[in-house]
């Protein structure tokens, strides 16, 4: 089947976009200033590596940009790429941090995975990165505030 035929198949558009996506850094509009960018991603899913059942979480990302900021559509597609991946809560949170640090070279970044209760246990995983010598803002963690529409 040709690539053109695949692109026209119903239900493939999103999957194709996710497969082709790469995290896209954009030039930081204020590279001399330390400022904090805050993202809340309330519909994160991945698969439990043991059971194969879906795990749900809100991912919270705070960062102080270095040379780049993140294009939001690329972040959305990147996050959606986790939905069929089997990995632990710890693995998912740390993979997100590692990939974002590699793409953006932030001065400071924190990624928190607030996973939904499963088996009567709520899991919160926090992973952080800072450039050597970084002394700028590191805001206190704020629990997700998104409450839906």
* Strand ranges for the chain from DSSP E: 25-27, 37-47, 54-64, 68-70, 108-118, 121-130
Judge whether 16 counts as a catalytic residue. no
Tokens of 79: 């996050």
Between the CA atoms of 126, 105, 77 and 79, what dihedral angle is there, to the nearest 10 degrees? -10
Judge whether 46 counts as a catalytic residue. no
Cite the DSSP H helix spans in 2-149: 3-8, 13-20, 72-80, 89-104
Task: Check: CB of residue 44 under 8 Å from CB of residue 57.
Answer: yes
Q: Which of 3, 34, 46, 48 is catalytic?
A: 48
Identify the CA nearest to 49 among candidates 92, 100, 98. 92
Q: Which of 55, 84, 95, 98 is catalytic?
A: 55
Identify the CA nearest to 17 among candidates 91, 75, 100. 75
Catalytic residues: 48, 55
């Amino acid at each position: 089947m040709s690539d053109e035929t695949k692109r026209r198949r119903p239900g493939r558009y999103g999957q194709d976009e996710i497969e082709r996506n790469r995290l896209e850094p954009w030039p930081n509009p204020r590279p001399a200033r330390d400022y904090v960018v805050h993202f809340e991603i309330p519909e994160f899913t991945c698969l439990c590596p043991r059971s194969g059942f879906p795990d749900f979480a809100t991912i919270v990302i705070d960062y102080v940009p270095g040379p780049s900021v993140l294009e939001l559509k690329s972040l959305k597609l990147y996050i959606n790429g986790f939905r069929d991946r089997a990995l632990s809560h710890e693995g998912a949170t740390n993979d997100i941090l590692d990939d974002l640090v590699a793409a953006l070279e932030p001065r400071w970044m924190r990624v928190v995975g607030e996973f939904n209760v499963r088996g009567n246990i709520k899991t919160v995983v926090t992973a952080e990165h800072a450039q050597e010598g970084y002394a700028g803002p590191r805001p206190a963690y704020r629990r997700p505030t998104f409450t839906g529409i």
